[in-house]
Amino acid sequence: MAFNSVKKGEQLIGKILKIFFLLAIYGIIESLLHANPIIDFLANSSSKGIDADTILRYTADDDRGYRVQTIFYHAYSWGGCLVILASTYLYLVFNAKTTTLFYKYSLVFLIIFLNIFFTRSRSCFLPTMASIFALLWIMPRNKKKAIFISFLVMATVFSMAFSPKLLDSFKMYFTAKDDGSVKGSSSELRATQLASAVSTIKDKLITGNGFGSVRKLLHDSGSDTDLKGAESIWFVVLIDTGIIGIIAYLLFYINIIRSFIKEKKKALNKDISRGVSVIIVTIICHFTFISLTGEMNTFPFFMLYLGIASKYIFVKLREEKENALYNEYPDAGIPVISESAVL
């Protein structure tokens, strides 16, 4: 309801992107200082309105070193929101109208990418890399830009492949700083958590134990459970709602993607079609993120993204059809569709 025209929609999206860019600038400063004054202030605040569990403060004492989180609950929450927006920032790079804008947007994307990298999260980094390669296929008209970005990525990969020291440094960045062993969200830990989740609901595999069961289990068991810090949304969904919940959750994402594919087929030009493709890539990246590391308080922002994206595509298609109709019948006039009729 915040906008009902393409122009106002783009203004709203632009404001959101600018806010996150400013937060990313703060993230760069935070990574250089290895300190977060805002989080420190909130964590040490005497205000009773701030719950201790609202903020998970990461410092250089963490297993993997300092993790950037800006003003978010957790470094993964910050990274997860950037995963949702990364494709949009990169879309601006590919659609830059001038060389100056291309380099400007490239710098913006680089700063966003560095923030994702500084979270030290494979669950944030991998979906972002996937979105980069996906957009290289989606935006075929920008061959020079695609070749330029591909060259940078491939040069980085080859440099690591031919430099064991550089490759080890890269691997160490996402692992424990002391012995180099992979801690936290490893495949072994996920396998253990899956086995624990199944054993927890072995008598209620179909329906699960009910909403909030995981939270109660963690509260009652404390550290004495393999599910502490569950590394995937699916463990939580399985325990709370069983196989029925898993199927419903999958259908939720599948139907969202299907709805955007239908909108993509309605597009009369390639620009809108590619824009819808970017949204689909974003949905898949978010799905990958929550599958790898859990929801991490990113679901409300994801739903906000979907709402804005859906409305923007709706008004864009409506404007496109009105323009096509006007070009075909310039003397007929275009009927105005009221917002109340749309809603």
- Please report the pLDDT score of residue 134 as a whole number: 86
> Phi/psi zone of residue 210: left (φ > 0), alpha (ψ -120 to 50 degrees), beta?
left
Give 331: exposed, middle or buried? Use CB within 10 Å, 0-12, 13-18, 19+: exposed
Alpha carbons 282 and 305: distance in angstroms, whole number: 10
**Contact present, 45 and 53 (Cβ < 8 Å):** no
Residues of the chain under the 50 pLDDT cut: 60-61, 180-184, 224, 334-343
| Coil, strand or helix at 121 | coil
**Contact present, 110 and 19 (Cβ < 8 Å):** no
Q: Select from 122, 121, 111 the least CA-distant residue to 89.
A: 111
**Contact present, 122 and 83 (Cβ < 8 Å):** no
- Please report the pLDDT score of residue 232 as a whole number: 77
Question: What does DSSP assign to residue 336?
Answer: P
- Please report the pLDDT score of residue 35 as a whole number: 87
**What is the reported pTM?**
0.80
- Please report the pLDDT score of residue 60 as a whole number: 46
Q: Percentage of the chain with pLDDT > 90? A: 32
Q: Select from 153, 140, 134, 154 the least CA-distant residue to 95.
A: 140
- Please report the pLDDT score of residue 228 as a whole number: 58
- Please report the pLDDT score of residue 144 as a whole number: 66
Give 239: exposed, middle or buried? Use CB within 10 Å, 0-12, 13-18, 19+: buried
- Please report the pLDDT score of residue 168 as a whole number: 60
Tokens of 148: 């330029």
What count of other Cβ atoms lies within 10 Å of the Cβ of residue 6?
Answer: 15
**Contact present, 184 and 190 (Cβ < 8 Å):** no
